[in-house]
A and B are shown apart, each in its own frame.
Chain A
Amino acid sequence: MTAFSPSSDQSPSNTLAPPLREGSAPMAQVATENGHPDHRMFGLATFLVADGMTFAGFFAAYLTFRAVNPLPAGAVYELELILPTINTVLLVLSSFTFHRAAKELRHDQLGACRLWLLITAGLGLAFLGGQMVEYFSLPFGLTDNLYASTFYALTGFHGLHVSLGALMILIVWWQARTPGRFTADHHFGVEAAELYWHFVDGIWLVLYGILYLL
């Protein structure tokens, strides 16, 4: 037998401390789900960083096209400003209404919360409607030229996010009708939908800036 055995090898600070368990004192402040610590909001935030990087790649591609690929002679690429501006206002407004909904929920006003959720979803759907109107009134199609393709790809990918977000809002709105489903301090679904919605809203502001204003 040489100088070590597993136990003598154990340096004194490698000690045994209480188990990582629900209810044990140091973990008490962490919310739990089915007995496991609940880190879903953290996970969602990390996912949104990843999702944001997809958009960042698209933005970088678009800006590089702008810098080095001039529009060929005769190609049509013109955007109107009024409709997208109205759309921007709708979407920004919807971020505030969602914030309001979450606030009502934290004050246990379930009814008011559901109303504001519904308003938020309505604003989101109005945005999508506006986007559709714009698509059908534009003088260019998907494959007409590089800028046309980029425009549809960027707004389409964002529109997909808005659709998913609106769906999420309608789902939590529906779930919220069951009393006790969401409580003042336990409402992951609403929180998640809210974070996602603010994210989609923020992305739109960048898109609006570089597609329409730049």
Chain B
Amino acid sequence: MTIAFPPQTSSSPPGLQPEGWLRYLSFSLDHKVIGLQYMVAGFFFYLVGGALAGMIRVELVSPISDFISRETYNEVLTLHGTVMIFLWIVPVVNGAFGNYLIPFYVGARDMAFPRLNAVAFWLIPPAGFLLIASYFIAGAAQSGWTAYPPLSLTTPAAGQVVWILSVLLLGGSSIFGGINFIATVLKMRRPGLKLMQLPMYCWAMLGTSILVVLSTPVLAGTLVLLSFDIIAHTGFFNPALGGNAVVYQHLFWFYSHPAVYIMVLPAFGLVSEILPVHARKPLFGYTTMVYSILGIVFLGLIVWAHHMFTSATPPWMRLFFTIATAFIAVPTGIKFFNWLATLWGGKIALNSAMLFSCAFIIHFVFGGITGVALAQVPFDIHVHDTYFVVGHFHYVVYGGTVFVIFGSIYHWFPKFTGRMLNEDLGRFHFLITFIGFNLCFAPQHWLGLNGMPRRVAEYDPQFTLMNQISSVGALLMAVSTLPFLINVFWSAFSGRVAGDNPWNALTPEWLTSSPPPVENWKGEAPLVQHPYGYGVTPGQIDLGAATGREIWSSGQ
């Protein structure tokens, strides 16, 4: 490959932006720096949210509320949900990987609006600290991450107002990010690159960002009204003052069902990048993948009331939302089978990235099936607000998205830092995460089916054993972060040097140095029209020549 080096015209005058590690603490405009800022901040909040989850699981080891008081338990579970969703999953799976990868994938030197991008990131730390500080100062909100009125109107006001403020800031950050992704994917593609040639993660982020732009503002408006109810004693959602609490639920879920796709669609995209590389095969069914994403975006906007089957929803509404929800299984199923077909007959390298991705597929199918079951009214009426729902969404959010985040870190760490993560530690990390996760959340389905309500600090003693098993699983999950953290810190300084393209991948982020230079490529941006061209040109990849393990180690 011979590349001519045209004279560099740097857009940001040198000297204005700090160099070295300091730029990670600065208002940097570089999309790669911002991506890693999202990543590290997100991981910090993951540890916070994990500590909160630990408190929940310790409390639930015994049927009585002995470890923390009931009020504290409510605060802890509210903070746990809010932190994990708004400060860990959404920022990392969108902000971190999106900012890092999308400009590469469209062949651009940065996002469409670099300054807006930095603003979007820097809204997150203050919002996060505000939220956490509320626990220590006035007592945190107690009404769960859903903040349903009238509960959110009767629990202590100060914590709830801070919660609203924090979520508004995070929503704003998310909207700014979404606008940026849409503009970057649609407007910043290098000449000659067509939409249908983009890596799948671009489509996933486009779909996600459409959901963000269409639904997050509705949540923001709703929370403003909720704050009026709390502060000014208006009665929008307060039945005691003639208001309507169910309207809040509709508006909330109009955001929050799409929000589950905001959390999982980018993970779909990331998996679609990882599988072809480590299976040495083209992504199966590119076109159907694209239309599935668009289908999920559309259907995702019209299924929200499946969260409200016990909120006196009229029969026609139940019927419509059950059917619409069942339809989502179609595009989701298409994606699932496409991933399987991608793996089928490939030279699979069972490295950490691949292991986490395969576990994602398994968990997501399971969580998807319980999801479709939950959308059936007669079943949902029995298990709504029980641990069955908790089991369902942890299978999709943790077993799905968080597993993909870890897989993606193993996959892209060499690009981020120029060094490889240690594979043995990585597989060890995978093993305990996988066991711990399933041990923690599989029993919760049983608990829910047998009637254990969620969000309560105490439970019937007959549920003790299952809860203890679940808590042991949680302990394993907590332990599993240790090998990961050790791996990251050790490898960042002393890991094996990765080189530009350790996986022999074809997507554009690998066609530059590791870590990449400011503005992504020294010289011209490559035009990658076949990001999954593994083996499509006969003679280039010899599938018979090596086992997956050899192919994988050939890249080392």
Contact = CB atoms under 8 A, between A and B. Distances in A.
Contacts of B250: 60, 64
Interface stretch (B127-135, B377-385, B525-533): B525-533
B523 interface: yes
A2 B550 contact: yes
A142 B524 contact: no
A174 interface: no
Contacts of B551: 2, 4
A37 B1 CA distance: 28
Interface string B9-42: 1010000000000000000000000000000000
A5 interface: yes
Interface of A: 1-22, 24, 26-27, 34-37, 39-40, 42-43, 46-47, 49-58, 60-61, 64-65, 68-69, 72, 75, 142-143, 145-146, 149-150, 153, 157
A11 B251 contact: no
5 smallest A-B Cβ distances: which pairs? A3-B542, A26-B191, A11-B533, A57-B218, A149-B234
B3 interface: yes
Contacts of B222: 57, 61
A65 B6 CA distance: 63
A42 B233 CA distance: 39
B95 to A, nearest CB: 17
A12 B537 contact: yes
A116 to B, nearest CB: 30
Interface residues of B, number: 75
Contact of B506 (A9, A39, A40, A69): A9
A51 B116 CA distance: 17
B419 to A, nearest CB: 18
Interface string B165-200: 000000000010011101100111011100000000
Interface of B: 1, 3, 6, 9, 11, 107-110, 112-114, 116, 175, 178-180, 182-183, 186-188, 190-192, 213-218, 220-222, 225, 228, 232-236, 241-244, 247, 250-251, 254, 500-501, 504, 506, 510-511, 523-530, 533-534, 536-537, 540-542, 545-546, 550-551, 554
B218 A54 contact: yes
A199 to B, nearest CB: 13
B540 A17 contact: no
A3 B533 contact: no
Looking at A3, A36, A37, A64, which has the most chain B CB atoms within 10 Å of its CB? A3
A20 B108 contact: yes
Contacts of A42: 112, 183, 186-187
The interface residues of chain B, by DSSP majority, are classed as loop
B13 to A, nearest CB: 10
Contacts of A8: 540
B537 A11 contact: yes
Given A17-B192, A60-B251, 11 more contacts: A3-B545, A10-B506, A49-B213, A50-B175, A50-B179, A51-B217, A64-B244, A69-B242, A143-B234, A143-B235, A153-B234
B191 A20 contact: yes
